[in-house]
Homo-oligomer: A and B are copies of this chain.
């Protein structure tokens, strides 16, 4: 009951870091969506490990096989199963943590919750699971493309290096031009250097991914518990290492007065817009047609290359060795994951909105 997301456009993921494979079933994708295998490949490439010097050097090809739900290039309305085989599991790398609890990892909580765990590479708690989300998100993007909805995520902060520019002042597509995925080339350079230094110190660093969604139709989101931003928030907070979510004016907005914060409605050529957008495109939990934008905070990854003191399952002190192949900073690879979760959320609300009126 914990591995599904979405009420109509629904996904269920499975798989462990070092098991046979991972994958996802999409149940509820409408029939008639054109499958773009290139887009699927591109999205997987954006997330995959080993893509640059500032990501883990682990290699996983992450080839996605479509097992069902697609016929002659179109979705059929039946479940779409996507399968990714694990090819590069070095399970013995993990024998040293079989009985140890790595600091700020899920080893301890899984052990206590289930009484048994697949300790290899973090098992189910590994961010490897997000590959399945990105694959499903690619299908959601294909669906949203029909409606012109566009999602652009990018890195806006690494450690204390913060991009102060407003998203409207930048060409967000530039984010894909550099390995840290920041649309400001100058800042990108600094960020890359910062991550690289952190890596050399065998440490990790946090960061923020920002995301903008354009051309969302008016009316997505539900009045009470499933407000559009509430479900977007859950979606983002469900990504590994995320510690915070804010949309529109966010945490800064608390400092404002209502008279400053309110977005004045205006009518342009019969279209209702707002003069400012502190609302972040969502009012009363429902999209108002303006850009939706939000920030997602990622902590520094728990796996560092330096030794750390910890305990084993019997409470004895142990030293957890820093080994394996890991990311010094998660945000560059998190960009497509944020987009995937956004796409899945919007796709679900697009379908829900079809049932609003008689």
Contact = CB atoms under 8 A, between A and B. Distances in A.
Q: Which range contains the number of A residues in contact with the other chain?
A: 35 or more
Contacts of A129: 224
Contact of A224 (B67, B124, B233, B270): B124
Contacts of A237: 227, 229-230, 233-234, 245
A268 B194 CA distance: 38
Contacts of A260: 300
Nearest to A220: B113
Contacts of A283: 104-106, 108-109
B297 A254 contact: yes
B1 A226 contact: yes
Interface string A45-86: 000000000000000000001111101101111111101000
Which of A30, A261, A278 has the most chain B CB atoms closer than 10 A to its own CB?
A261
A200 to B, nearest CB: 12
Interface stretch (A164-172, A174-182, A205-213): A205-213
A131 to B, nearest CB: 13
A89 interface: no
Interface string A1-38: 11111011010111110011111010110111100000
A148 to B, nearest CB: 13
A284 interface: yes
Contacts of A299: 248-249, 253-254, 256, 261, 278
A143 interface: yes
A264 B309 contact: yes
A272 B107 CA distance: 13
A223 B300 contact: no
A243 B233 contact: no
A285 to B, nearest CB: 7
Interface string A124-161: 11000100000000000001001000000000010110
Given A20-B65, A71-B123, 4 more contacts: A68-B124, A72-B116, A245-B246, A278-B299
A246 B43 CA distance: 28
Nearest to A257: B203
Closest 5 CB pairs of A and B: A106-B284, A2-B222, A244-B246, A206-B254, A204-B258
Contacts of A356: 30-31, 77, 113-114
Nearest to A306: B259
Nearest to A232: B237
A88 to B, nearest CB: 16
Contacts of A146: 358
A146 B358 CA distance: 9
Nearest to A234: B234
B358 A113 contact: no
Contacts of A300: 253-254, 256-258, 260-261
Contacts of A302: 258, 261-262
